[in-house]
Structure 1
């Protein structure tokens, strides 16, 4: 059917935990919602600076209302300095905690209170801007911080009501729409509405992105736990199989030397084939234990991209009967590069090749090339291709139409190995028929830790 529908020929017990050279390249899991929300507050503060400058100019010059310009501009200057310091802090450190957001909003409330105190206090129509601060706080802060902000805003309003001298324009509110106070209040409400729509929408988008990020992390944790359990099972099975396989190898060696078998060439060939299959089983067991961190064989060794893939293809052809003429291997990588050979990486590629062979016994294609800073392997077949439902659930466990227990784990393990290396897996159906699975791995995660810049070798 398709490449994703077959069981893996060899399990990958440490798919979620090992990378070449025992280095793990994990995706960034830090939550940057606080950083984005602080950016929104900084933008809002710049709008507040411009709005206050415009309002002071209009009121002072247009309505001929006396204002303490020097003091109000000094408060505005402090707001500008604080906003500049906030921008510098974001550049120096990415994470923003709830306490920092609360402190920033309390500063905004204090600055607004200072400006209102200098311009009429509770009689200033722009006193409703406190609602903007409280609403944003309800979106951004934790529960206890919200109530702290509400208490601070309430204290500030109460202080203004008792201490701030009133504005003269507050006395003309009986004039209806001709009242300067009513006009100012309408302008304030319009500003509140516009800013709330814009910034609440942005903050909601940030929160939705955070929730989606956390859901993805929970899904990845569940998948990695699933793989760990599979690894424990595979490691235990490998331990149990080690002794029987060694016993079989000894018995087959004795049979080959016995006169009754040695005199029959056909039996000698069959015994030799049995010995090679036993050796292959022992190699698989060793690879399982190596991937699980219990190295029975050799540790990962330094090699090159072309050398690793050439050896992998040669071994795959030799251990799959009839695969020699079927595999169309094209290495277009170019200048070779040193990498660390790892059993999990090898098993990942072999899994996809084996699945392709089962889906398309007459043809399997393997194309290797360099895609920017990535190693790209395209494995194609001429089978029936993927079903749309399986493409939509690529990399999810037990997505198989074969009906066998444990079916559909092949691409699930492949995707998790690739993700551990910082790479990705893409699958699609080909227009001419068949399917292609692309393994895209960053070369940085495969190269040795030291002397990475000196890894280019002569292709010849």
Structure 2
């Protein structure tokens, strides 16, 4: 199944709005300003405060310019977002250069722009930003202003107990091994956090695409289900105009003598109007019949309706229905469950049966059983079964047991995107169903898909509470 991907989910696009970048940068500007002031005036450490605020002012002026030039709702292209996050890395690197390089404990903030990119930009842009951040960290190992350990000839940290002369004559030498350790931690943080964030965001994007496809399928099934209601509405709406046409033609026929040129035409109009009224009456009666009779159907009829389109295929389908073994024959639990017609359930079961037919060799079996507490539908085929390596992942979007879909429609064999079963699973779970996947026990081969509903939720879908089924 192919689904239209929402514009904001297309590969290569950015999901970042300008408003988000601007707000994050204002937060950075405030944090950097407070930190510089606290270090200079609070701790009494001498820093090149003028240069520091010049670097911070660049970010502030860039934000002001962006807010004047673009609206808040402006969505950034991937390239624009990359340039802005790259600027943030370089601005932070300039501040670190003025305040001790990697000896500055705030050096770990180089990870932040890469993490933002990983959550919203394509992988290639995130890799580029990661390399830029690593390059900046590498340069800061060797090139930076020394940490301002002294203020007015006195050590800032009292634990050193050195003389004033020492403060002027010496600079605390941080061991190179320690600096290399900080560099390693920053680089590993960029790589690990960047990859972890990208992977999580990628899963969310794939899930959003799959859910969009699910909504499209459900909407289509609901439109098909609503056709009977539309027919009834059409019959009601067209009844009055047709009655007016019939009355008008009847009056005209009274005033027209038989044999006149328009007499036959008026007679034809009246007959066709009466025929339209009969058709509309039939449609209205059929819609009412469907509403009263077919809006609810027992399990056996549900299975028959799902299976019927696949009967002409070469692989036979064997259907069995009945109470679960051990249920007393005349008990209330043995009564066949009846449920509302649900397009999502019909589509979901149909997709499972279609998949079974695709992989079956000789037969597909559909077995429906019920008890006092549950309704169970089991679909079994005699194919090769689920590959063990994907069995635990089936039901997730873009996970399939078939070869990847290609544009060569003449190529034999199965092809799929991994969305069909995900959509079926999602629609069935909306009706409070639970799916279990397994392979047939050896020496038999084939896949087994079991769909299980609580009987109360199956018979009265209004009572379905999916939150109660969550783990």
TM-score if structure 2 supplies the norm length? 0.39
Structure showing greater relative contact order (alpha-carbon pairs closer than 8 Å, 6 or more residues apart)? 1
TM-score if structure 1 supplies the norm length? 0.40
